[in-house]
Amino acid sequence: MKINRDDGTVELDGPPALEYGEKVRSRKTVRNDGTFAGKEIGDILVRKGDIGYVTSIGTFLQQFYIYGIEFIEHGYRVGMKGRELASIDNPDPDEDEDAVSVWDEDFQPTSV
């Protein structure tokens, strides 16, 4: 399995973009890659536009922040990268909410 490390960007050089308790919206649909217990591989965990709250902040590959997002409507938490999320509490006025990179389409979540 090839792990894509993006363009060498190291998010950990700065503070997390999101804060604990922050309300966010998913910018993409996320499917189970087999690491989410209780769901079949390929099952949709989160749909684009789903609303959740940041409940944890971790790291991945010593390069990215991974945010544990509690999707109350679904009753579970999913680990997502910052680029997969848009803040509702602190919206970025320059953000194009429909812009999603090709790499994002390949990223698979892990349970947190």
Place of tokens 């990268």: 81
Those residues whose C-beta lies under 8 Å from the C-beta of residue 112, and which sit 6 or more positions away, are: 55, 56, 58, 66, 68, 77, 78, 79
Q: What is the predicted pLDDT for the residue at 7?
A: 64
Decide: residue 16, CB within 10 A, 0-12 exposed, 13-18 middle, 19+ buried.
middle
Q: What is the predicted pLDDT for the residue at 49?
A: 94
Average pLDDT, the chain: 81
pLDDT at 104 over 90: no
Q: What is the predicted pLDDT for the residue at 61?
A: 86
pLDDT at 43 over 60: yes
Query: Model-level pTM?
Result: 0.74
Q: What is the predicted pLDDT for the residue at 60?
A: 86
Q: What is the predicted pLDDT for the residue at 15?
A: 92
The pLDDT-based confidence of 54 (bands split at 50, 70, 90) is: very high
